[in-house]
Structure 1
Amino acid sequence: MNKSKYSTAHTLPIKRMKALLFAACLLSTCCTWAQDISKKKSPGGRKISADLFGLFFEDINYAADGGLYAELVQNRSFEYAPGDRRDWHPFSFWQYITPGYSYGTVSVETSSPIHPNNPHYLVLNAEHVGDSGVGIRNQGFGKIPVRAGDGYNLSLFAKRMSGAPVSLQVSIEGKNGKMLAQHVFEIAASEWKQYNCSLVPSETDDSATLVVLATSKGKLALDVISLFPQKTFKNRANGLRADLAQLLADIHPKFIRFPGGCLVHGDGLGNMYRWKNTIGPIEERLEQRNIWGYHQTMGLGYYEYFQFCEDIGAKPLPVLPAAVSCQNSGGTWRIGSTGQQALPMDSMQSYIQEVLDLVEWANGPATSFWGSKRVAAGHPAPFNLQYIGIGNEDKITPEFQQRFEMIYQAVKAKHPEITIVGTVGPFPEGEDFSKGWEIAKSLSLPVVDEHYYSKPEWFVSNQYRYDTYKRNATRVYIGEYASWGNTVKNAIAEALYMISLERNGDVVAMASYAPLLAKNGFTQWKPDMIYFDNTRVSPSVNYYVQQLFSTNQGDTYFDNVVKYETADSLFAGGCVQDKRTGDIILKLVNAGSTVKKVNANLSKFGNIVSNADCTILQGDPAAINSMDKPNAVVPVRSTLEVKKDLRYEAPPMSLTVIRIKTRKP
């Protein structure tokens, strides 16, 4: 055997083995180092609800008709009644006019309506038309605002009731009686027929009226006289007022709860809000009295609510009655009132089916009965309904509990994919609150709805409320909350409280300020988030707090990032991260009267971009936005230089949002 060959043959494997061992050690060291780096760049944190901040809409303060719903004619279907208000009747907000020495008669009748749900209509008998005609005038919701050059869709239903066709002139008149736009129909059909045209005013006028005149002799019936701006939100037919809807869209809410509120369970069983009455053609919808003392046309109905949610990327959260009426029914607005009425037990199966039908209408295929109605309305795809609320601020009586449990179990059995939101009464404590939570725990409800309105000081002193709630149990939806006022002090107190909602975003599933909208001069409840009149909007300071939190929501919360020199109940800070963008978001709230020095340790987040976006909402504690000064207090944006060890001085009475981008390694 050749020794050199033998030696070479054995020494090469040994060298290779040493090299492999070295490489393995190096690889192990690199892996350990990489793991350490990975740990440093994966800061952990606590998952929070993806649907934390949203909106709550209720038709209160003329929020729908005369507000968000863009209809310009008031009492378009002649369905107003003394039940709405004592001095109202089917001809309210209409004026009978006989210009130019004309004469005739006008009456409201019910013998031959378009649809049983819409029983009243107007009969106009033009006996002598003179120089102008015989007709009616509508002043809208405190006059009709129009803009020069914009199109307005006029529609009405009419039928001829005399021998010859009748010429019908529709026009928009300015405040001085000047003709701004007009169109003439010939009413020849002896059965109900819809007539449509576009009116384009020649001048802008905030105090216009709609005039409908028979300009030839004859008798005809009229109903559902409607005037809509073509420039609605997303240009939707039967749509929403563009400026108000855009303000809501600008919040970027994760959900919208609708249609109430106390409106849902209504003033007595006959006044409960029934979703099926609010879909389909508007002339077939069943109008009814509003629990807040006016009227609902239902033009803004379930289809429009769902469509709006889809348009702005918010999840729909419809709330249905728990088969009981409001405990304050009959005007018994007092704590512990007993006006609650319950549907008879022999009606419960039918009512439960009504709830189940909503899921089919929203999510069912086109081949299903209720899904086909959604398709017929213009929406072939499902709405992807995920949440349904059952009940609102109800008094927790045995009648309520029995019916709620029946509804809950039925929906859970047939649609386990739907999350039911329960209710625990109108207050943050007390008998109904305790009983409601007992029901929630016994049924293992996924979410319950808490409500509270209080002074700013309550929100400051209760900012640790949810720190003590049980984890991995029934979660909380704060469906209605607000401090009593729209000053900077109120808004900043709410911001302080919202820091705690993010901190407890694993317990608090959703939250929405309430009420949302209030029309100037038609307000039953204050405070509200947005005030408006026919032409102007005024977002409150509270609006901007909600917007800043909602548009800067994260999905993970981090403890012990924000620290400050002295513990103070008037200061709160939080840190979240949006994992989609990698952005780190600091929210700092100073409800005190002096500057607060803050330190944020960002070392756990790896690479950060030094130029951060900084938005500050600040003002005098008593400052307030108004219709005349809508921009008195608004957020101010700037750029802030940041480091891993961020030091910041939070101004007094302020909310600061610092959004920091991160670089990928």
Structure 2
Amino acid sequence: MDGHHLDKDQLLLILPNLCPALYRNSGFYGINIQVQNYTARFFYRSLGQAYVADGQLSIGFSDSTGQITYGISKIDVSIAPADNWFPFSFTIPVFSNTSSAKNFFFIEFPPGSKGDFEFNLVSCFPPTYKDRVNGARMDIAQVFADLKPGYVRLPGGNDLEGPTILERFIWNNTIDLLENRPGRRGTWTGYNTEGFGLIELLTFVEDIGATPILAVYAGYSLDGKAVPQDELQPYIDEVIKELDFLTAYASNNSMGALREHLGRSEPFDIRYVEIGNEDFFAASSYSYRWPAFYNVLSQRYPNITFIATTTKSI
């Protein structure tokens, strides 16, 4: 595996001596461990002459002292060729609850290991809502489901626009395998991995019984810059491909075929599309951006209701 986007922001562990080594992560404000099976995944690469004694890593959960282990799995990493990224996916069964969230996820190297090792896309997840692959966390999803929302707008407004035009929500950067999603600078803070992308978002909305309102990028970003009128066509084409991807059948549309290839055979039920976000902040350019998008899209998708984000200047 060539790595693609894996050669960015990877974790490098350097073991200089023939001794045991341990990497620990406390999660976001702790890890609430329950008796259940957790699905763990990561990409692994050993560099040069690095080696793991006995070829096995121990991966699991422990308390903050490291003295109590709640669940553990042994992973044979000897099958991974040196200097190449290799994916691992496995289950960590947890056999006892803990009343504290002050716990750690750990990766342990046995005594005798030495060299440089890299990890990326490390995750460990409890069962997901409706058992969706790469789905939503059960407890958070259930809160949304209990609210019984009629509509859910996605992927969001400022997140759609992005800090700059280049850092906008680009839908086709969010649909491939996780290791092929490049990510981007976050709108408010941090980095967006796009790990919960367009397909996951729409599937989640379906699962909680809501109707999606899909927001599409309309040529304006949070730095206050708008795409000039004579340069809008590629962005309109981008939306056409997105809507074809979501609504077309695989038998007669290449974008529909791509959706099916990625695991979703049936089209999504897209009834409402919002063009842009909060464009009262950019009414002077929305006066040409709205008709440019609406005139093309409404002709191509007559069964979709298109929503303007402002009535100023249009």
What TM-score do you get using the length of structure 2 for normalisation? 0.88
- Aligned-residue identity in percent: 29
* Inter-partner Cα distance in structure 2 for 1:345 and 1:122: 43
Task: Structure 1: give runs of 5+ residues left out of the alignment.
Answer: 1-111, 330-339, 425-435, 440-665
Q: 1:183 Cα deviation (Å)? A: 1.9
Letter in 1 for 2:10: Y
**Rg (Cα) greater in structure:** 1
Q: Of the candidates 180, 183, 193, which is equivalent to residue 73 of structure 2?
A: 183
8 Å CA contact retained: 1:126, 1:214: no
Q: 1:195 Cα deviation (Å)? A: 0.6
Give CA-to-partner distance per residue, 1:20-53, whole Å, 9 cap, x none: xxxxxxxxxxxxxxxxxxxxxxxxxxxxxxxxxx
Give CA-to-partner distance per residue, 1:388-438, whole Å, 9 cap, x none: 1111112243323212221111111221222111111xxxxxxxxxxx245
Q: Of the candidates 285, 293, 302, which is equivalent to residue 407 of structure 1?
A: 293
Q: Of the candidates 88, 99, 118, which is equivalent to residue 221 of structure 1?
A: 118
8 Å CA contact retained: 1:124, 1:135: no
Q: Report what 1:371 is aligned to.
A: 256
Q: Report what 1:198 is aligned to.
A: 91
* Inter-partner Cα distance in structure 2 for 1:244 and 1:228: 13
* Inter-partner Cα distance in structure 2 for 1:176 and 1:374: 46
8 Å CA contact retained: 1:165, 1:187: no
Report 1:69-468 matches (<5 A). Answer: 114-116=3-5, 119-130=8-19, 133-147=20-34, 149-163=35-49, 165-166=51-52, 167-177=56-66, 178-188=68-78, 189-190=80-81, 191-205=84-98, 206-215=101-110, 216-230=113-127, 232-326=128-222, 329=223, 340-345=224-229, 347-367=231-251, 368-394=253-279, 395-424=281-310, 436-439=311-314
8 Å CA contact retained: 2:163, 2:221: yes
* Inter-partner Cα distance in structure 2 for 1:383 and 1:305: 11
Query: Which structure is richer in relative contact order (CA contacts within 8 A, separation 6 or more)?
Result: 2
Aligned residues: 301
Q: 1:295 Cα deviation (Å)? A: 3.0
* Inter-partner Cα distance in structure 2 for 1:307 and 1:288: 22
Q: 1:165 Cα deviation (Å)? A: 4.8
Give CA-to-partner distance per residue, 1:332-357, whole Å, 9 cap, x none: xxxxxxxx101245642221111011
Q: Secondary structure at the match of 2:88?
A: strand
* Inter-partner Cα distance in structure 2 for 1:242 and 1:437: 41
Q: Secondary structure at the match of 2:116?
A: strand
Q: 1:135 to 1:288 in 2, by over 3 A?
A: farther
8 Å CA contact retained: 1:160, 1:187: no
Q: Secondary structure at the match of 1:342?
A: coil
Q: Secondary structure at the match of 2:71?
A: strand
Letter in 1 for 2:250: A
* Inter-partner Cα distance in structure 2 for 1:345 and 1:136: 52
* Inter-partner Cα distance in structure 2 for 1:117 and 1:227: 18
* Inter-partner Cα distance in structure 1 for 2:77 and 2:51: 5
Q: Secondary structure at the match of 2:142?
A: helix
* Inter-partner Cα distance in structure 2 for 1:145 and 1:376: 36
Q: 1:126 Cα deviation (Å)? A: 2.1
Q: Secondary structure at the match of 1:324?
A: coil
Letter in 2 for 1:214: F
What TM-score do you get using the length of structure 1 for normalisation? 0.43
* Inter-partner Cα distance in structure 1 for 2:300 and 2:121: 39
Q: Secondary structure at the match of 1:144?
A: coil
* Inter-partner Cα distance in structure 2 for 1:375 and 1:243: 29
Letter in 1 for 2:293: I
8 Å CA contact retained: 2:184, 2:191: yes
* Inter-partner Cα distance in structure 1 for 2:145 and 2:7: 33
* Inter-partner Cα distance in structure 1 for 2:6 and 2:271: 30
Give CA-to-partner distance per residue, 1:103-144, whole Å, 9 cap, x none: xxxxxxxxx9722486332332323242xx224221111111
* Inter-partner Cα distance in structure 2 for 1:118 and 1:321: 29
Q: 1:118 to 1:416 in 2, by over 3 A?
A: farther
Q: Secondary structure at the match of 1:299?
A: coil
8 Å CA contact retained: 2:217, 2:239: no
* Inter-partner Cα distance in structure 1 for 2:27 and 2:231: 39
Letter in 1 for 2:105: L
Q: 1:260 to 1:389 in 2, by over 3 A?
A: same
* Inter-partner Cα distance in structure 1 for 2:9 and 2:118: 10
Letter in 1 for 2:23: I
